[in-house]
Amino acid sequence: MKDLLIVGQGLAGSVLALKAWQRGLEFMVSSDPARPSWTRIAAGLFNPVTGRRFVKTWMADTLFEEIYQFYPWAESVLGDGLYHPRPIYRVFTSRQQRLEFLNKVDQEPMGRFTPQVFEKGYLPETIHHPEGGLFIPGGGWVDLPRFVQEAAMWLKSHGRILDHLVTPDEVIWHDDHAVWNGQSWRKVIFAEGARADQNRLFAHLPFVLTKGEVLTLKVPNLELNGVVSRGKFILPVGNDLIKVGSTYSWDDTDPVPTEEARKDLVTGFEEICRLPYEIVHHQVGIRPTVKDRRPFIGMHSEFSSACIFNGLGTKGVSLAPYWADRALDHLFDGKPLDKEVDIRRFGEN
């Protein structure tokens, strides 16, 4: 009997696979080439202080410690150029916003992630920042399209990938194991991203899928060493290319680029940067977001071999490494799951 069948090879499935490898588990990954992984269009930012109210993100101390360990290690396995620790510059939109931040920072210490205020003139002239902004330490980005592509090649080279759709109906579920394709598995873990809403075993989970769109622009001469955010973000990714993101749409989850989002992103870019640009790509993806913004981890209440690792939402880069470890601790070592991420918070299947 093999230990683990991972269904899906986006960010969630790839991180699970690398963690399973670290533990010496006997695993395989099934990936349906006909279904897109939305990880392939994501910007891959990790940012410890976010939101209109400058909040330290949930569990930042723990999750970011794991980011700093995991992605450099993943690079050593998959190849260089995946992990990019970078400063994040959050530009103030108004004097009022600057005052709001200064009031807040006195009240809520943020430890190693405490942002530093900078003044007009700190960033290159081509970046519009008349009210200055914040330098946020501890952030950066992971090249997610490359990460999943390199992970696929690595899995293939180790004979760990099956180019196959796996649906719950093709699996024979027993109390303590499952059989798929004539092979027995101790656990089958579904890491299907936004497709999970079609999985009948976990149909009760309240996904609130979010469509997002991103532009890639060619902007010669943008000399910027970090990410700039001002409502939208601009992320230099090399070769004069920058990503501009992202939009959020809950009503329209049709994965088709829209003119409205294109205009919104172009405006967002022009509010930050004054250089001429050319649009190279306009991409769209669906985030597996969850009502309470916490991951979905756990086992089916009737078939304990059927498991889920999903709900990474808008913060897959920071959530995946730490929670993949906790998921494997739970499935293979019987360690209890944190109630905040356990799917049982939404009742039994």
Ligand X SMILES: Cc1cc2nc3c(=O)[nH]c(=O)nc-3n(C[C@H](O)[C@H](O)[C@H](O)COP(=O)(O)OP(=O)(O)OC[C@H]3O[C@@H](n4cnc5c(N)ncnc54)[C@H](O)[C@@H]3O)c2cc1C
Among 59, 105, 117, 165, binds ligand X (CB under 6 A): 165
From 49, 218, 228, select the one nearest 123 (Cα to Cα): 228
Name the H helices within the chain.
Answer: 11-22, 60-78, 95-107, 144-157, 259-272, 316-333
Q: By CB under 6 A, is residue 328 in contact with ligand X?
A: no
**For ligand X, the closer CB: 205 or 312:** 312
Q: By CB under 6 A, is residue 44 in contact with ligand X?
A: yes
**For ligand X, the closer CB: 132 or 140:** 140
**For ligand X, the closer CB: 122 or 167:** 167
Q: By CB under 6 A, is residue 35 in contact with ligand X?
A: yes
Q: By CB under 6 A, is residue 209 in contact with ligand X?
A: no
Q: Give CA–CA dist 270/134, Å, rounded.
A: 20
Contact range with ligand X by CB under 6 A, out of 57-65, 79-87, 118-126, 185-193: 185-193
Tokens read off for 330: 């739970």
Q: By CB under 6 A, is residue 167 in contact with ligand X?
A: yes
| CB neighbour list of residue 86: distance below 8 Å, 6 or more residues apart | 139, 140, 141, 225, 226, 227
Q: By CB under 6 A, is residue 224 in contact with ligand X?
A: no
| CB neighbour list of residue 316: distance below 8 Å, 6 or more residues apart | 11, 12, 39, 42, 144
Among 39, 97, 229, 349, binds ligand X (CB under 6 A): 39
Q: By CB under 6 A, is residue 45 in contact with ligand X?
A: yes
Residue 206, φ and ψ in degrees, nearest 5: -85, 75
Within 304-323, the residues that bind ligand X by CB under 6 A are: 310, 312-318
Closest approach of ligand X to the CB of residue 228, in Å: 14
Q: Give CA–CA dist 310/327, Å, rounded.
A: 11
From 66, 339, 44, 332, select the one nearest 189 (Cα to Cα): 332
Within 233-272, the residues that bind ligand X by CB under 6 A are: 245-246
Closest approach of ligand X to the CB of residue 162, in Å: 9
Residue with tokens 């490898």: 21
Q: By CB under 6 A, is residue 32 in contact with ligand X?
A: yes
Closest approach of ligand X to the CB of residue 251, in Å: 15
Closest approach of ligand X to the CB of residue 27, in Å: 14
Q: By CB under 6 A, is residue 195 in contact with ligand X?
A: yes
| CB neighbour list of residue 158: distance below 8 Å, 6 or more residues apart | none
Q: Give CA–CA dist 204/251, Å, rounded.
A: 20
Contact range with ligand X by CB under 6 A, out of 99-107, 186-194, 218-226, 333-341: 186-194
Q: Give CA–CA dist 181/71, Å, rounded.
A: 33
Tokens read off for 37: 């992984």
Among 6, 12, 91, 189, binds ligand X (CB under 6 A): 12
**For ligand X, the closer CB: 132 or 313:** 313
Contact range with ligand X by CB under 6 A, out of 24-32, 52-60, 96-104, 117-125: 24-32
Q: What is the CA radius of gyration of the chain?
A: 21
Closest approach of ligand X to the CB of residue 166, in Å: 4
Q: By CB under 6 A, is residue 139 in contact with ligand X?
A: no
How many other CB atoms are found less than 10 A from the CB of residue 4? Answer: 23
Q: By CB under 6 A, is residue 166 in contact with ligand X?
A: yes
Whole-number Cα distances in Å, 283 to 45, 215, 262, 295, 334: 16, 6, 10, 25, 41
Q: By CB under 6 A, is residue 192 in contact with ligand X?
A: yes
**What 3-state class would DSSP assign to 347?**
coil
Please report, as ranges, the residues that interact with ligand X according to CB under 6 A: 7-13, 30-32, 35, 37-39, 41-45, 165-167, 191-195, 212, 214, 245-246, 285, 287-288, 310, 312-318
